[in-house]
Chain A
Amino acid sequence: MKTTDNASASLAEQSNDEYSVRITGFWSGRSELIVPALVFILAGFLTYGTATMKVMGTSVPGPQFFPTIVCVLLFLMAIIHTIQILRTRRFPHEDSEGQNADFSTDLLSDLADTENEAIYVPTARPSVTGKRKAYSDWKTLGMVAGAVAAFILALPVLGWILSAAGLFWVVCRALGSKRPLFDLSVAILFSSAIQLAFNAGLGLNLPSGFLEGLI
């Protein structure tokens, strides 16, 4: 399969509606397959759990009745979804960024008689020159998710003030703050204020960790 960098770049110049998209193999535009894959695993686990459930009581319909319906629904939808993705590649579109999937844009534009007027007007055009970056910024995402995981591990040991301040600071860094020292003071102020408000005002105890007794 040939790459079409040039073709797509020129296409992007021709019409402002398309962005440079490269099809380099089977997975291009098909990464969404991870969703039905996870749903299959979940539905499989659910089926196993339903089959091996230790049922108590003798009520009919019992506790396995409703989960069975949910299992069928999940399997059915996952199959249809897989077929849909295999038939048509789907590329994330910067135009639709921020668009809410809770509502069908087609339905809304029919109701408002807006026809093809864009419901979300993109505010800035992404660059189409140079190598296209992955749609999602996995590095930043990984830092934020990692910071939350680290927070959960650190909370019992370090206590609320230190671990929450650390979480705040790392998320700030990941999202592009350029003032590490200033952020550090904001972070500690924020987490200490919460600790104070909670312990004094609301009577809820947040763990103090190894600082126990010192404060």
Chain B
Amino acid sequence: MESLSLLMEGFSQALTPMNLLWVVIGAVLGTAVGVLPGLGSAMAVALLLPITFSLEPTAAFIMFAGVYFGGLFGDSTSGILLNTPGNSSAIASTFEGHRMALDGRAAKALATAAMGAFIGGLIATTVVVFFAPVLVKMATAFGPAEYFALAVFAFLAISSVVSDSVVKGLMSLGLGLVLALVGVDGPSGTARYTLGMPELFDGMSIVVITVGLLALGEVLHIASRIHRDETAVRVESKGRPRLDLSDIRRAMPAWLRGTAFGVPFGVIPAGGSEVPTFMAYGLEKKLAARNGDTDFGTTGSIRGVAAPEAAANATAGTAMGALLALGLPTSATAAIMLAAFQQYGMQPGPLLFERSGPMVWTLLASLFIGLVILLVLNMQFAVLWAKLLLIPRHYLYAGITVLSVLGVYAISSSIVDLWILLGVGLLGFMMRRYKFPLAPVLIAVILGPLAETELRRALTVSQGDLSILIDSPVTIVLYGLLAITLVITGIQHLRHSKTARSQALKFDTDKLGV
């Protein structure tokens, strides 16, 4: 019950007019970037970081909390109305959501999505409040070997298990690790790969890398395609989103089932909410087939929207718990949040609750407040948000380009940083062009230094004996789980690539006329 009194204290901190204003700003910004396809909360937080640097950390994090959840509220709007999900976390809810919109029930689909996101987030955040202290207690027993195992788990899960291609995933991971290596090595004071430039002694700023990859890289990618692709057709949404009692009765089990998928996935470094949303969607589909539900796959089922949306926000909620208590980012967005903490000189993990306790509880309280505000914003104004999609794309991306250079310049007024931004932006374009995953780069940049330090610390203690890395039950369990998932993924990749290759080869020889 100690958690409850701490949380109440957090609420009293978060409910000041100024802090409420920050939550609202964050929620509005988050929903906006969520609605716009190709932009997400990770990019929004990275762009905001340099600008919020003069703010007090609590205010900044309260705003980030709004952005963090807001992106997941907004992304289903464009999915439902345009059939182009604002983020990959909304793909699963787009299937049935867009069908409902085509059937003239767009408003109902939007309301179901917003309620689902609210319920998922609410339950997950409540779980975090009660379980974070338990996680913290567990994590205090972690040594260097355990932390290294956690980092390796995150690296391999995100780069090979969930990404499209194992080889490309590992290459992205390697690129991220290289970016993280530049600069003076902490333990020994050795300058590494700085080309003798003093500007690089502090390493490359995480903000520069994130903004380059996610913002400028996206703009360059859009530039390469804008005169090629045709724009999507928009479905008009009429009426205020409203759910009547029978809708709620139908959607409620799906919301709860979706949440049940999302909650455990938040603490697993599986790259975020895509996997749980698809699992939730799959279950609803199976149940619909068994119950003879004819809506599913034809006119659009309310449950097919409800479950994935709840799963997405439940994942985000517990991911925040894992980030705060263990210091482990389980998705790209969580990784940027971790970078945000580091910018303010705080290291998430067990010590954070001790050293910055009041701030952590204020942040958790503002997650609840943010959810309520987001529910209102998205239920009442969903149609208004869809109007954002009417902004001409050239203004939108020109604006993002200017904000990217502004954000990077604002960190340290350095021209070198701007050149690095352009370089990373071009890298981001190339990776998008050839379908390389971006999440492993971000995870590697942020967890790379931690992995290296902990590995070296562990080996120094054991005097070079590698067996220390698998010496404790925690590490054995982690590596065991990792090995099992890697084997399963390997089989799955082989099965799919066999069919894909036989088709591709046939295509190739057809073309050559051989």
Contact = CB atoms under 8 A, between A and B. Distances in A.
Interface of A: 1-2, 4, 7-8, 11, 18, 21, 23, 32, 34-35, 38-39, 42, 45-46, 49, 53-57, 59-63, 65-67, 70, 73-74, 77-78, 80-81, 84, 88-89, 92, 94, 96-114, 119-121, 123-124, 126, 133, 135-138, 140-141, 143-145, 147-149, 151-152, 155-156, 164, 167-169, 171-172, 174-177, 186-187, 190-191, 194, 198, 202-207
Contacts of B161: 107
For B188, B432, B463, the residue with the greatest tally of chain A CB atoms inside 10 Å of its CB is B188
Given A8-B511, A78-B171, A104-B163, A113 B233 contact: no
B399 interface: yes
B274 A35 contact: no
Contacts of B168: 81, 101
B167 interface: yes
A175 B397 contact: yes
B78 to A, nearest CB: 12
A7 B456 CA distance: 59
B492 A88 contact: no
A76 to B, nearest CB: 8
Nearest to B50: A204
A194 B402 contact: yes
B222 interface: yes
A171 B164 contact: no
A77 B406 contact: no
Given A137-B226, A167-B401, A56 B436 contact: no
Interface of B: 37-38, 51, 54, 83-84, 88, 91-92, 95, 158, 161-165, 167-168, 170-171, 173-175, 177-178, 181, 185, 187-193, 216, 219-220, 222-233, 271, 274-275, 278-279, 281-282, 285-286, 332, 392-395, 397-399, 401-402, 405-406, 409-410, 413, 415, 418-419, 421-422, 425-426, 429-439, 451-452, 455-456, 459-460, 463-464, 489, 492-493, 496, 501, 504-505, 507-508, 510-513
Nearest to B233: A123
14 contacts: A2-B513, A4-B512, A7-B513, A61-B460, A65-B456, A110-B492, A119-B91, A120-B91, A136-B224, A136-B433, A141-B224, A164-B406, A175-B393, A205-B413
Which 4 A-B pairs give the minimum distances between C-beta atoms?
Answer: A124-B230, A175-B394, A57-B188, A171-B398
Given A112-B279, A176-B226, A57 B189 contact: yes
Contact of A63 (B165, B188, B274, B398): B188
Given A57-B189, A81-B168, A107-B162, A74 B419 contact: no
Given A67-B192, A104-B163, 13 more contacts: A39-B175, A61-B456, A62-B188, A65-B459, A77-B170, A89-B504, A101-B435, A103-B163, A104-B165, A107-B161, A126-B228, A140-B224, A144-B219
Contacts of A54: 190-191
B37 A155 contact: no
A107 B275 CA distance: 8
A190 to B, nearest CB: 7
Contacts of B83: 121, 123
Contact of A108 (B51, B278, B419, B508): B278
A196 B167 CA distance: 47
A5 B153 CA distance: 48
Contacts of B51: 202
Interface centre among B286, B394, B405 (most CB of A within 10 A): B394
Given A102-B439, A107-B162, A73 B512 contact: no
Interface of A is mostly: helix
A46 to B, nearest CB: 6
A63 B185 contact: yes
Given A73-B170, A105-B164, A203-B54, A111 B282 contact: yes
A66 B456 contact: yes
A41 to B, nearest CB: 12
Contacts of A164: 402, 405-406
A88 B431 CA distance: 19
Given A111-B278, A144-B219, A98 B224 contact: no
Contact of B455 (A21, A66, A105): A66
A208 to B, nearest CB: 13
Nearest to B495: A106
A61 B229 contact: no
Contact of B512 (A1, A63, A114): A1
Which of B91, B223, B394, B433 has the largest count of A CB atoms less than 10 A from its CB? B223
Contacts of A62: 188, 190
Contact of B395 (A88, A100, A186): A186
A55 B188 contact: yes
Contact of A137 (B228, B231, B421): B228
Contacts of A175: 222-223, 226, 393-394, 397-398
A108 B274 contact: yes
Contact of B430 (A35, A113, A202): A35
B190 A148 contact: no
Contacts of B38: 98
B12 to A, nearest CB: 28
A112 B285 contact: yes
A101 B437 contact: yes
Nearest to A149: B422
B412 to A, nearest CB: 11
B181 A66 contact: yes
B181 A70 contact: yes
Contact of B164 (A104, A145, A151, A191): A104
B178 A74 contact: yes
Nearest to B284: A112
A108 B192 CA distance: 40
Contacts of B181: 46, 66-67, 70
